[in-house]
Structure 1
Amino acid sequence: MKDKILYGLVFGFFWLLACLPFWTLYLISDLLSFILYRVVGYRRKVVRTNLTNSFPDKSLDEIKKIERKFYHYIADYFVEEIKIMRLSHKQLLKRMSYHNQKLFLDCIEEYGGVVLLIPHYANFEWIIGMGAIMKEGDLPVQIYKPLRNQYFDKLFNYIRSRFGGYNVKKHSTVRELVRLKRDGIKMAVGLIADQNPSSNDARYWTTFLNQDTVFMDGAERIAKMMRFPVLYCDLERIKRGYCKMTFRLVTKEPKATADGEITEAFARHIEETIHREPAFWFWSHKRWKRKREHQDE
């Protein structure tokens, strides 16, 4: 009951905040970024360590500049995530534009679906509006790991399904995708796969941002099982409240690739995106907790 009441209060508060215009929300974001960075010091040690290890050639002043910009970005991300509770499809499409759409739509039409590799970059959550550029009847599917609190999990499911998206729990992925395909539904399967994986999900090691890094290879395994082409979602933050995403082909024939090849390509694409503008990735994630020597534990 306590969690249910808390969910109702949080939902109501977020709903009221979402009624505010963007310019007001960005004033709140400015205050929030100051509190996170200067007052609370939210994961500053993690952010500083991640940046320093990822960019050993950058000076301390350069690292601090990226760091400050990151905290402004993460506060913007938070208020923009809330605002999506009240945005219309039309408004969202004005703020999240899609490039190289023909590749995306042709792959869905020809192969019955695609696997989308999505990084924690810019406002990746706004990709949920993708259904608007898809053919009527085709389905945007998001694979996600449920939150421990069922009510907050319900809140994020509400936000992520507002525009017709279908959320599939990670442990139900194979069953649900096979069912959708059997029912003749064409789909775009999105996976945000650049977070620190659990020991059960940690399967592919590579050098990423100058460090030994383990990746989940779930997207690769899904693509091979479903025989879906793989596209990388190259995100770019244009300015506050505006983002663009370009579809980039990884492979149209996943079964013909070697084990790890798709996951390696994902890592290289993310690096290119991050190096273009480093501040807009989730540096506060504890991305490098696992060490290569522990991979068999």
Structure 2
Amino acid sequence: MSKLVYIFARIGIWLLAIMPFWLLYKISDLLYLLVYKVVGYRKRVVRMNMRNSFPEMDNKELKAIERKFYHYICDYMLESLKMILMSKEELFRRMKFTNTELYLEMLEKHGGIIVMMPHYANFEWAVGIGSFMKEGDIPMQVYKPIQNKYIDELFKHNRSRFGGYNVPKHDAIREVIKARRAGKKLVLGLVADQSPNVHSLNYWTTFLNQDTSFMDGGERIARMMDFPVFYCELKKEKRGYCEAIFELMVESPKETATGEITEMFARKVEQTIIREPGYWFWSHKRWKHKRQNNQ
């Protein structure tokens, strides 16, 4: 049954992927009415997250962010599906990559770099980073496998179309070491702002006015390999157009204190969200874990 659903889903995705962007956004506007006005997808979670993050805002301000978020999430879903047939030229026309010179310089100098980014704007389009790297260098993307194997294969295909190499999160360190032993240069990309699992609540900080745990895997790998760490600042310029700016946070991670890189990342993400809050994944249950007294 799941295979049959997958086949029909692939047909539907293909039909959406061949549509021009202007038509796709008309569909997105209708989807917004369904998801926000009719279904109310995770509306309670979204409202609680926003209210706790911006206690200084009144209901009118929060409502404006809420509407922008639901418009964004509908665009994001369809823009991500569009990637299945998007050409490299079209991707680079819509996703501008900035400060790539320093990115490539650090990669050449150190043999590897870490790129950390949030669930913000169209982060899926950032998979294009492999398109401007040297042939033979490896753009690795850490991901959490999806339970449905057919949907999982679809996402992995989408994320590897422009040279990306998908690495399950539990295999990341092993794959990094393996590549370096083979003499390969690599970029390890992590979308690292989601809530850690209950066994990985290693680093806590105040984030958006709340006690928050952050994943520290990116920092641990950076310190182990002494790879420079970049923050990928994502800016949504207008509908269907985004910019990814590579900001060097740390060149020599081994010289930093434990938790320093993760804290820097948390502050960068917070600044990104505050600048334009409507383009972050507010529907995530980001604050589902609470700090224990011994942490």
Alignment TM-score, normalising by the size of structure 1? 0.97
What is the distance in 2 between the residues matched to 1:129 and 1:27?
Answer: 26
Match of 2:17 in 1: 18
Q: Which runs of 5+ in 1 are unaligned?
A: none
Q: Secondary structure at the match of 1:90?
A: helix
Q: Secondary structure at the match of 1:265?
A: helix
Residues 160-207 of structure 1: per-residue CA shift (max 9 Å, x gap)? 011110000111112111111111111110001111110122210000
What is the distance in 2 between the residues matched to 1:5 and 1:131?
Answer: 33
Per-residue deviation at 1:293? 2.4
What is the distance in 2 between the residues matched to 1:170 and 1:276?
Answer: 30
Matched to 2:173, the amino acid is: V
1:121 equivalent in alignment to 2:120: yes
Alignment of 1:19-38 (within 5 A): 19-38=18-37
Q: Secondary structure at the match of 1:202?
A: coil
Matched to 1:143, the amino acid is: V
Match of 2:271 in 1: 272
What is the distance in 2 between the residues matched to 1:235 and 1:197?
Answer: 22
Q: Secondary structure at the match of 1:70?
A: helix
Alignment of 1:204-243 (within 5 A): 204-243=203-242
Q: Secondary structure at the match of 1:258?
A: coil
Match of 1:91 in 2: 90
Q: Which moved more, 1:5-14 or 1:151-160?
A: 5-14
Per-residue deviation at 1:295? 7.2
Match of 1:199 in 2: 198
Q: Which moved more, 1:3-12 or 1:249-258?
A: 3-12
Q: Secondary structure at the match of 2:202?
A: strand
Alignment of 1:1-297 (within 5 A): 2-293=1-292
How many residue pairs match? The answer is: 295
Deviation beyond 4 Å, 4+ runs, structure 1: none
Alignment TM-score, normalising by the size of structure 2? 0.98
Q: Secondary structure at the match of 1:98?
A: strand
What is the distance in 2 between the residues matched to 1:41 and 1:96?
Answer: 30
What is the distance in 1 between the residues matched to 2:200 and 2:25?
Answer: 37
Matched to 1:235, the amino acid is: L
Matched to 2:126, the amino acid is: I
What is the distance in 2 between the residues matched to 1:180 and 1:247?
Answer: 23
Q: Secondary structure at the match of 2:283?
A: coil
Matched to 2:215, the amino acid is: M
Q: Secondary structure at the match of 2:204?
A: strand
CA RMSD of superposed structures (Å)? 1.0
Residues 232-276 of structure 1: per-residue CA shift (max 9 Å, x gap)? 000000011100011111100111111100000000000111111
